Structure 1
Amino acid sequence: MRNLAGTCKLAVIQAAPPLFNRDAAIDKAVALTAQAAKQEAELIVFPELFIPGYPYGLTFGFSVGRRKESGRRDWLRYAETSIMVPSPHTDRLGAAAQAAHAYLSIGISERDAISGTLYNTNLVFAPTGKLVSVHRKLKPTGAERVVWGDADRGYFPIVDTPWGPMGSLICWESYMPLARMALYNQGVTIYLAPNTNDNPEWQATVEHIAIEGRCYVVNANQYFERADYPTDLEEATTVNSLPDVVCRGGSSVISPTGEAVAGPVWDHEEIFTTTLQLDTVVASRMEFDVSGHYARPDIFDFHASTK
Structure 2
Amino acid sequence: MSSENQLTVALAQISPVWLKKSETLKKIELNIREAANNGAELVAFGEGLLPGYPHWLANTMASEWNSAVQKELFAHYVNQAVRIEKGDLSEICKLAGKNKIAVYLGLIERAADRGGHSVYCSLVYIDPKGEIQSVHRKLQPTYDERLAWAQGDGNGLQVHPLKAFSVGGLNCWENWMPLPRAALYGMGEDLHVAVWPGSIRNTKDITRFMALEGRSFVLSVSSLMRTKDFPPDTPHLDLILEQAPEVLTDGGSCIAAPDGSWVAEPCTNEEKLIIRTLDYERVLEERQNFDPAGHYSRPDVTRLVLNRERQSTIEFK
TM-score (norm 2): 0.91
Range that drifts further, 251-260 or 80-89: 80-89
- Equivalent position amino acid for 2:273 in 1: I
Matches within 5 A, 1:163-242: 163-200=164-201, 202-231=203-232, 232-234=234-236, 236-242=238-244
Matches within 5 A, 1:75-86: 75-86=74-85
Q: Which residue of 1 aligns with 2:139?
A: 138
Structure 2, unaligned runs of 5 or more: 310-317
Q: Which residue of 1 aligns with 2:313?
A: none
Aligned-residue CA RMSD (Å)? 1.7
Q: Which residue of 1 aligns with 2:42?
A: 43
Aligned residues: 304
Matches within 5 A, 1:279-294: 279-294=281-296
Matched, 1:149 2:175: no
Structure 1, unaligned runs of 5 or more: none
Q: Which residue of 2 aligns with 1:105?
A: 104
Equivalents in 1 of 2:202, 2:85: separation in Å?
Answer: 36
- Give how far 1:197 is off: 4.0
Matches within 5 A, 1:116-131: 116-131=117-132
Q: Secondary structure of the equivalent of 2:88?
A: helix
The answer to whether the Cα contact below 8 Å between 2:166 and 2:191 also exists between their aligned partners in 1 is: yes
How far does the alpha carbon of each residue in 1:143-185 deviate from its partner, in whole angstroms, 9 at most, with x for none?
A: 1011111113514122122132211110000110111101111
The answer to whether the Cα contact below 8 Å between 2:18 and 2:51 also exists between their aligned partners in 1 is: yes
Larger helix proportion, structure 1 or 2? 2
- Give how far 1:8 is off: 0.2
Q: Which residue of 2 aligns with 1:62?
A: 62
- Give how far 1:61 is off: 5.5
How far does the alpha carbon of each residue in 1:170-214 deviate from its partner, in whole angstroms, 9 at most, with x for none?
A: 000011011110111111011110112414353111111000001
Matches within 5 A, 1:295-306: 295-306=297-308
Equivalents in 2 of 1:229, 1:128: separation in Å?
Answer: 34
- Give how far 1:237 is off: 1.9
The answer to whether the Cα contact below 8 Å between 1:138 and 1:155 also exists between their aligned partners in 2 is: no
Q: Percent identity?
A: 27
Equivalents in 2 of 1:86, 1:254: separation in Å?
Answer: 35
How far does the alpha carbon of each residue in 1:7-26 deviate from its partner, in whole angstroms, 9 at most, with x for none?
A: 00111100011001000010
Q: Secondary structure of the equivalent of 1:271?
A: strand
Q: Which residue of 2 aligns with 1:274?
A: 276
Matched, 1:16 2:21: no
TM-score (norm 1): 0.94
